[in-house]
Amino acid sequence: MARRKKTRSTTSRGKGARTRRATAKKPQDAIALLKADHRQVEGWFEDFQSSRSATRKRDLATKICAALEAHTTIEEEIFYPAFLEATEEKDIHHEAEVEHDGAKKLIAEIEKAGPDDDYFDARISVLSEMIKHHVREEEKRDGMLAKARQADMDLQALGQQLASRKAQLMGEAQSEDDERPAQSRRGTSQGSERALQARATRRLRGE
């Protein structure tokens, strides 16, 4: 008698599909997304301070500048206005905006001067301290993020908006890189995050 071939039951297949759906990454709410950005940049600043390689430092500076440009943009365009409307906390909002202005000016100086500038390391160090202060202010117990959590804000919807806008910014950077001659690219067309880094690299190199 022929042996019956074993087949996976529809029940087991259904369980597997449910398991995959359950383990899929859930969309981040606005606060989780912004905090994740903070942790990422903090790690890069620490790596920069401990590195002794000029090439490594240049690459880290590129990542830091690109990430901060995207982060400040999505905060100023989406999160800050929503926070101000929901809480009417003008002082917190205005201070955050002013701190952003200071950081953006320093980022522009870093990108303009490039890694060959004698003050390159010093500028990155000062930028690190500025961002650390800014993050502490946002994440402290009575800071912007805590008040946003307490307020009547749809943080899940805001998180989706922030993620979408961030992806759009990365896509724009990717388009800029695609428009350059193939021989001028530095292998930065793989992935939208690397495209942002490529744009910052070109600024650092004065291209």
Q: For residue 19, give every residue at least 6 positions away whose Cβ sits within 8 Å of its Cβ, in sequence order, or none.
A: none
Measured CA distances, 156 to 13, 85, 152, 165, 199 (Å): 31, 17, 12, 14, 30
Q: Percentage of the chain with pLDDT > 90?
A: 64
Q: Which two tokens stand for residue 63?
A: 């990542």
| Dist CA 51 CA 56 (whole Å) | 7
Which residue is listed with tokens 């749809």? 154
pLDDT at residue 139 greater than cutoff 80: yes
In this predicted structure, what is the pLDDT of residue 25? Answer: 61
Q: Dihedral sign, CA of 84, 90, 91, 93?
A: positive
Q: Which two tokens stand for residue 191?
A: 């992935």
What does the pLDDT average to over 103-127?
93
Crossing angle for the helix pair 90-113 and 54-74, nearest 10 degrees? 150
Q: How confident is the model at residue 184 (pLDDT cuts 50, 70, 90)?
A: very low
The residue among 32 and 183 whose pLDDT is bigger is 32
pLDDT at residue 195 greater than cutoff 60: no
In this predicted structure, what is the pLDDT of residue 190? Answer: 38
Closest CA to 121 of 69, 58, 59, 64: 58
Q: Give the mean pLDDT of the chain.
A: 81
| Dist CA 127 CA 73 (whole Å) | 17
Crossing angle for the helix pair 155-179 and 54-74, nearest 10 degrees? 130
Q: Which two tokens stand for residue 193?
A: 């995050």
